[in-house]
Amino acid sequence: MNAFEYAAPTTKEQAVGLLADRWGDAEVLAGGTDLLSLMKDYLPTPKRVVNIKDIKELQGIKYSSATGLRLGALATIEELLSNAAVKKEYPALAQAAEGVSSPQIRNAGTIGGDLCQRPRCWYFRSGLGYFPKDDGGKDLIPTGQNEYHAILGNSGPAYFVHPSSLAPALIALDAKARIFGSAGWREVRVEEFFVTPNNDGDRETVLKSNEILGEIILPPAKGIRSATYEVRQKEALDWPLAAAAVALKMSGNTVQSARVVLGHVAPVPWRSQAAEQALGGKAIDENTASEAGSAAVNGARPLSKNGYKVQLARVAAKRALLQAAQGGA
Amino acid sequence: MPKYEWPEKSKRAVLGRRISKSDSPDKVSGRAKYASDVKRPGQLYAKFLRCPHAHAKVVSIDVSAAERMPGVKAVKICEKKGPGSEILWALDEVVGVVAVDERTAEDALQKIVVKYEKLPHLVNEQDLAGAGDRAKPAAEQVTGDPDKAFQEAEVVIEGDYGIPVITHCCLESHGQVVEWEGDNLTVYPSTQNVSGLVGQFAQPLKIPASNVKIRMDHVGGGFGSKFSPDSWGVESAHLSKQAGGKPVKTFLERDAELFVAGVRPSHFARIKLGAKKDGTVTAWEHHSWSTGGPTGGGMAPLPYVLSVPNSRKKHTAVATNTGPQRAWRAPNHPQACWLTFAALDDMAAKLNMDSLDFYLKNIQLAGERADLYRRELLKAAELIEWKKKWHPRGDPAPGHLKRGLGLGFHTWGGRGHASEARLTINPDGSVSVDIGTQDLGVGTRTVIAMVAAETLGLPVSAIKVNIGRAPDYPVSGGSGGSTTVGGVSAATRRAGQNALEELFAKVAPALSAQPSELEAVGGKVQMRDNPAKNLPWRQATARLGVTPLVVSGKNAAAASAADGKLTDQGVGGVQMADVTVDIETGIVKMNKFVAVQDCGLIINEKTAESQVLGSMIMGVCYSLFEERVMDEVTGRPLNANMEFYKLAGIGDIGDFVVHMWKDDPEQDARGVIGLGEPPVIAPGAAIGNAVANAIGVRVPQAPFTPARVLAALEKKGGLSS
């Protein structure tokens, strides 16, 4: 890890002032569970690390039935898990947090960090590049070791999957991200927070290098049934192979409207309108859930070694729907 | 000379009891210091620059910028890695740097410029046809008349099976602290071979072996990969010298630990089997191939345990540009066991036979231990409720969760290695045993104390055990091949019996007895036929005057008739797995895993069981999760970390049942036999066969991941929804 300057501002304004005009010069530190391991591998080599953990305004979780849920970007995954309102009103979010299977990461890792973490792609992490290529300039991943890579939105040059555990649930629950920069606050839907990078210097979100993610706002979830289902090979310390979060607005026993979002299948959390449309006006049962699961992976284009993930994503969506129909608010 | 033997079972006070490891409180509390905890005054830190390419020629090396960095104390191009040298695997070390702290050393590595000329590489061997001239076939071996046997066979099956390269994955990585004092070297290593390291450090450093001291209290895993100083150990000693003899600490980073410091060879095979309709196996044929790095990989003992009368065996070693193999717990046996029992299980399925009945039918092929295997199979079957739960291939239950049973069995040697114990009885009654051995966390210290306590008639707590120092303590073998427990227990037993002989000679006059009439039992030295005539231990040892009694006992590596029955070799063992497979996701979950294990006389039932439990955990890991992943195009490792090199957690292992074969007088009479290896052999076979039984189709390659399980189901065109 290269030597760096360390700053620990106590206000968001100071923090933003300490960040740089281009990516790579400064990095934001919160829980540190991702940034430190990246820096140890010399992936980013920032001149300055800005620790935002002391900014009180960005901490905490607040719920009101009238305005909904406000998640400080610095609230930990553990705070999310132990929040009774989250468990009751937003089960998809609570279940997604449960999927972060290491107590250490749950205690240190933050909600903002979960959304801003870098891809777990083993080419990227092994120092082979953000868009790894062979000596002839051809992308390595489509015919390489792509068993954990994208099956959707993978026309290149990005083939990784977005690793966020919480994003699919937040998108299903129609959350908004509030971003703070030198010009003050701006707001985007979490769905639009993520972007597929095209150039080497790009990142995976709409954040600019001198902005910070401040908070996440969820609308009240009255009448919404939601669930997250992750397909993980191991119980312990493992990433999902595929995941799905769903939120259903019910009218009696039938679906009035639905939001279906897949995780770990594309460079961004993948909202499937085809699956959502397949559910409209139907009751959720094994058949309708199965059909929606199949619709969710419409257009999937597996790479050489990840065809199995199409099946896993289909099953994740089906099981999330069945789970939501049985439980939820 | 005493008659060296173990006491009769009815007379054992300590042997066979369940005793917790004496060093567990230290480990749990953090008081135990491993080599990686050592911090010597003025200690420096070494890091190595590693070649990113799988196969390359070193063109030039410029270390000048690193040398100029503040805090850097020494920079050295590694032996045989200068310009013009050939690198054979990615992550091989090229330049070593020593600095005042780890970060400075790491940053200095970034400033070294090495130019390489890339050479053609091969890193993946599963596709033998793609191996070209890297494939080196060995001579075919033929037994009986396989052609005739296959012609006459009523049922013939043929299948492809495989298991990839996995790594040792020691939680304490390889390394040591080295410290010079003039031409004398002290090494604080993490090793399986305390006594053996003396000469291994002396020779390449060109110093007398008598100048080398080894110091180690605990080691955080070795599994067969920690017997030598390793190139980085010797380089560190050179670097330390270059830095003025200051202590230098070197422990491998996780990537090098996983992919350089030891891997287990792969094994792939096309296997053909012939049998009669009644299940009798008559013919075997295989073509196997494997890699263990640049030298290829040897043939596993196929077919495993069962000797098929007519066989043809062909093996091809494939040389790859990957980190070189090291012994991994029971070298080549887990691979052989999985390949053999997968093919046999497929034959049983083809014959529509219950695989338990099929193995019982063929048990005579197991040779001298056939009857033991038969009894162990029946015991394991009882424990896992085989007859109640077994069904033909493909769980007929509705839904996506399918349950299945599978089994495998194994064999291993395990005779005690050459070992010498020095036992001291002090006039105040205190007792110590010195042995230049090591405790790999398996209870070696505790076992030595138990044997000395049993022999001297004392409580275990009365024995002080000193290990982990060389040459201070008598030489004991490296801990490999399951040889330690037999070696140290036989040596300690002999030392104890020898010591008693001398002690009794001093004590006999006080009891008006002959030395031969005495015994040491229950903290007393007493007349065997008249226990009322006795001296408490401390009064007896006071007869030594002012001179401690220091007596040795030796165990020889090879057996001889005069040895008695202190240690022996050759064990069996049977394992059965009960798994559930989610056929929609391909995820395999362990329900229950039964191990029935014989190992001769058991000194400590608790630590013996722990050996089996640890093996079963490792077995679940390599059956379901572990696999080295290399990028074919660049030849670079992709999962040289603990994130994507997957190991089981506590929630992944299911219920374990261990049944030690301890009530069999015939086995007990054989003496002590090592247990470190045998129970790690059969998990792949048991779990792989259970998966096939659950889902109705063979998953031909381990580990049994969702991708492979779903691919097998798709090929079958069946159960998947």
Residue B103 has its nearest CB partner, among A1, A128, A235, at A1
In a shared domain, residues B624 and B503: no
Query: Cβ–Cβ of A3/B641 closer than 8 Å?
Result: no
pLDDT at B206 over 70: yes
Check CB contact of A20 with chain B, cutoff 8 Å: no
Q: Residue B423 corresponds to which tokens in the numbers above?
A: 């036992």
- Percent of the residues in chain B that have a pLDDT greater than 90, as a whole number: 97
**Within-domain flag for B164:** no
- Please, are residues B470 and B214 in contact by the beta-carbon 8 Å criterion? yes
**Cβ within 8 Å, pair B638-A126:** yes
Q: What is the pLDDT of residue A243?
A: 98
Q: What is the ipTM of this complex?
A: 0.97
Residue B606 is assigned to a structural domain of this protein: yes
Tokens of A276: 């959502």
Q: Shortest CB distance from B710 goes to which of A144, A235, A311?
A: A311
Q: What is the pLDDT of residues B276-294, one digit of tens each?
A: 999 999 999 999 999 999 9
Q: Indicate the average pLDDT of chain B.
A: 97
Mark whether B375 and B495 lie in a shared domain.
no
Q: According to the model, what pLDDT value does residue A236 have?
A: 86
Residue among A38, A98, A122 with most chain B CBs within 10 A, to mutate: A122
Least confident of A41-45, B68-72, B150-154: A41-45
Of B563, B583, B604, the last residue of a domain is B563
Mark whether B243 and B100 lie in a shared domain: yes
What pLDDT, on the 0 to 100 scale, is given for residue B719? 44
**Where in the sequence is the domain holding B380, given as residue range(s)?**
263-413+569-716
Residue B205 belongs to a domain with what CATH number? 3.90.1170.50
- The answer to whether A311 contacts chain B (CB < 8 Å) is yes
Q: Check B634 against A236: CB less than 8 A apart.
A: no
- Structural domain includes residue B137: no
pLDDT at A329: 41
Please tell me whether residues B357 and B449 are part of one structural domain: no
Calculate mean pLDDT across residues B77-102: 98
Question: What tens digit of pLDDT does each residue of A17-54 get?
Answer: 999 999 989 999 999 999 999 999 999 999 999 999 99
**Euclidean distance between CA atoms A62 and A46, whole angstroms:** 34
Confidence grade of residue B593 (pLDDT, cut at 50, 70, 90): very high
Element (H, E) at B470: strand B469-470
Q: What residue of B is the nearest CA neighbor of A145?
A: B631
Cβ contact, residue pair A235, B633, below 8 Å: no
pLDDT tens by residue, A112-157: 999 999 999 999 999 999 999 999 999 999 999 999 999 999 999 9
Task: Note whether residue B614 is domain-resident.
Answer: yes
Å between A48 CA and nearest CA of chain B: 17
Are residues B216 and B244 part of one domain? yes
* Chain A nearest CA to B711, separation (Å): 7
Q: Is residue B469 classed exposed, middle or buried when 0-12, 13-18 and 19+ CB atoms within 10 A define those classes?
A: middle
Residue B52 is predicted with a pLDDT of 96
Cβ neighbours of A148 in B, within 8 Å: 644
- If you ran DSSP here, which 8-state letter would residue A253 be given? T
**CA distances (Å), origin A314, targets A48, A100, A319:** 43, 21, 9
Helix (H, G, I), strand (E, B) or coil at B275: strand
Backbone angles phi, psi at B26, to 5 degrees: -65, -40
What are the CA-CA distances from residue B200 to residues A108, A215, B176 (Å)?
45, 60, 14
Contacts of residue B649 in chain A, CB cutoff 8 Å?
A: 101, 234-237
Report chain A residues whose CB lies below 8 A from the CB of B624: 233
Q: Do A2 and B107 lie within an 8 Å CB cutoff?
A: yes
How confident is the model at residue B560, as a pLDDT? 67
B330 and B451 share one domain? no
Contact: A311, B633; criterion CB under 8 Å = no
**A1, A126, A140 ranked by CB distance to B633: nearest:** A140
Distance from CA of B347 to the nearest CA of A (A): 28
CB contact under 8 A, B629 and A145: yes
Rounded-to-integer distance, Cα B377 and Cα B596, Å:
8
Query: Could you give the domains of chain A?
Result: 224-326 (3.30.390.50)
> In this structure, is residue B129 part of a structural domain?
no
d(CA B332, CA B338) in angstroms, rounded, equals 10
Count the alpha carbons within 13 Å of B196 in the hemisphere toward its beta carbon.
19
Q: Is the domain of B76 the same as that of B211?
A: yes
Would an 8 Å CB–CB cutoff place A305 in contact with chain B? yes
DSSP B65-121: HHHHSTTEEEEEEPTT-STT-EE-STT-EEEEEEESSHHHHHHHHHT-EEEEEE---
Give me the mean pLDDT over the B381-393 stretch: 98
Claim to verify: residue B548 and residue B574 sit in the same structural domain: no
Do residue B706 and residue A308 have CB atoms under 8 angstroms apart? yes
The answer to whether residues B288 and B405 belong to one domain is yes
Note whether B631 contacts A305, CB cutoff 8 Å.
Answer: no
User: Of B529, B563, B597, which residue is a domain's last?
Assistant: B563
B440 part of a folded domain: yes
Query: Do B439 and B489 have their domain in common?
Result: yes
Q: Are residues B336 and B409 in the same domain?
A: yes
Contacts of B306 (CB under 8 A, 6+ apart): B281, B340, B344, B362, B365, B366
Find which of B171, B584, B714 to mutate to test the A interface (most A CBs within 10 Å of its CB): B584
Report CB contact under 8 Å: A2, B585.
no
End position of a domain, from candidates B230, B251, B272: B251
CA-based nearest distance A178→chain B, Å: 31
Question: Which chain B residues have a beta carbon less than 8 Å from that of A313?
Answer: none
Q: How many residues does chain A have?
A: 329
To which residue do tokens 């004398």 refer?
B184
**Yes or no, beta carbons of A1 and B107 under 8 Å apart:** yes
> Which residues from A are below 8 Å from B639, CB to CB?
122
Q: What is the pLDDT of residue B721?
A: 36
Residue range A186-218, pLDDT digits in tens:
999 999 999 999 999 899 999 999 999 999 999
Q: How far is A6 from chain B (nearest CA, A)?
A: 16
- Between chain A and chain B, the number of residue pairs with CB atoms below 8 A apart is 89
In the predicted model, what is the mean pLDDT of residues B480-493? 97
Chain A: closest CA distance from residue B653 (Å): 10
From chain A, pick out residues whose CB is under 8 angstroms from the CB of B636: 126, 128
Which tens digits make up the pLDDT trace of B634-690?
Answer: 999 999 999 999 999 999 999 999 999 999 999 999 999 999 999 999 999 999 999
Q: Please name the residue of chain B whose CA is at the shortest distance from the CA of residue A140.
A: B633
From B587, B624, B632, residue closest to A144, measured CB to CB: B632
CA–CA distance, B609 with B656 (Å, rounded to integer) = 11
Looking at the partner chain, which of B587, B631, B650 has a beta carbon nearest the beta carbon of A145? B631
Domain annotation covers residue B136? no
Tell me, yes or no, whether B135 lies in a domain. no
CATH of the domain at B555: 3.30.365.10
pLDDT tens digits, A3-15: 899 999 999 999 9
* E-assigned strand segments in B321-457: 401-409, 419-425, 431-435
Q: In chain B, what residues touch A125 (CB-CB under 8 Å)?
A: 641
CA distance B703 to chain A (A): 12
Band the pLDDT of B563: cuts 50, 70, 90: low
Write down the pLDDT at residue B557. 82
Are the C-beta atoms of residues B457 and B523 closer than 8 Å to each other?
Answer: yes
The angle, 0 to 180 degrees and rounded to 10, between the axes of the packed helices A308-326 and A91-98 is: 130
pLDDT tens per residue across span B500-527: 999 999 999 999 999 999 999 999 999 9
CA-based nearest residue in chain A for residue B704: A233
Taking only residues 217 to 256 of chain A, the set having a beta carbon closer than 8 angstroms to any beta carbon of chain B reads 231, 233-239, 241
| Same domain for B112 and B79 | yes
Instruction: Specify the pLDDT at position A177.
Output: 98
How many domains does chain B divide into?
3
